[in-house]
């Protein structure tokens, strides 16, 4: 809050608005155009981005008029318009960028990034790890994930383990694995997700 208070709201608004529609790395991303609010100390060379974010607001006139009591000016932000079809791209760019930042200087390097998933997390994690050249390990509950989202981690080169359990069972196992091995946990227990996902609110204001 002290850092935010150093500059006025108008300063932040003008700074973020000046980056919309630009291709200057990494500010063309809807997440990294708000870098100062997300992960201010990361160097641009460590950022792993697919120019996520900047999703549209859709005018849902009929939905508002017919189903929400005559709300004629209803707009819906569709974060599913993304590389993997998941809003989790917004958080995964931050998490994988931080892993990318941490890998080099550590005496015990991070060997990979792992998650338990029923679809969205595994799709986003595998896409960003593939972009960064970081191994991804995915634990999935057998027969509880759509074919469309199963294809993504496989196509992106992740190590995919289909386990005879539910999501909670996969989560217990990945936490045990990441506690014992140099594998970084990528599930939403990690607050880095929220740092990226909160930028959707700023985009709505813009």
In a domain, 38, yes or no: no
In a domain, 198, yes or no: no
In a domain, 48, yes or no: no
The CATH number of the domain where 121 resides is what?
A: 3.40.50.1100
In a domain, 19, yes or no: no
Contact between 27 and 35 (Cβ < 8 Å): yes
Give the Cα separation of 182 and 54 in Å (integer).
Answer: 34
In a domain, 59, yes or no: no
Contact between 31 and 87 (Cβ < 8 Å): no
Per-residue pLDDT of 135-172, as tens digits, reads 999 999 998 888 888 899 999 999 999 999 999 999 99
Which range of residues forms the domain containing residue 105? 89-192
pLDDT at 108: 67
Its pTM stands at 0.92
User: What's the domain count of the chain?
Assistant: 1
In a domain, 31, yes or no: no
pLDDT at 167: 94
Residues of the chain falling short of pLDDT 70:
107-108
CB neighbour list of residue 47: distance below 8 Å, 6 or more residues apart: 25, 26, 32, 93, 97, 100
In a domain, 104, yes or no: yes
Give the Cα separation of 55 and 79 in Å (integer).
Answer: 6
CA-wise closest residue to 6 among 33, 30, 40 = 40
């Amino acid at each position: 809050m002290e850092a935010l208070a150093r500059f006025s709201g108008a300063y932040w608004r003008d700074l973020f608005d000046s980056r919309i529609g630009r291709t200057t790395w990494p500010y063309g991303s809807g997440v990294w155009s708000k870098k100062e609010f997300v992960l201010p100390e990361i160097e641009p060379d460590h950022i792993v981005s697919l120019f996520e974010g900047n999703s549209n607001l859709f005018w849902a006139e009929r939905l508002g008029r017919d189903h929400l009591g005559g709300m004629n000016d209803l707009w819906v932000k569709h974060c599913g318009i993304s590389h993997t079809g998941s809003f989790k791209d917004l958080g995964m760019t931050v998490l994988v960028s931080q892993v990318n930042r941490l890998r080099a200087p550590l005496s015990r390097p991070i060997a990979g990034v792992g998650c338990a998933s029923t679809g969205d997390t595994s799709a986003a994690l595998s896409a960003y790890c593939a972009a960064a050249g970081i191994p991804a390990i995915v634990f999935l509950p057998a027969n509880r994930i759509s074919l469309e989202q199963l294809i993504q981690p496989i196509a992106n080169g992740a190590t995919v383990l289909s386990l005879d359990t539910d999501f909670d069972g996969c989560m217990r196992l990945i936490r045990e694995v990441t506690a014992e091995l140099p594998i970084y946990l990528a599930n939403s227990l990690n607050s880095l997700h929220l740092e990226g996902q909160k930028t959707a609110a700023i985009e709505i204001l813009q």
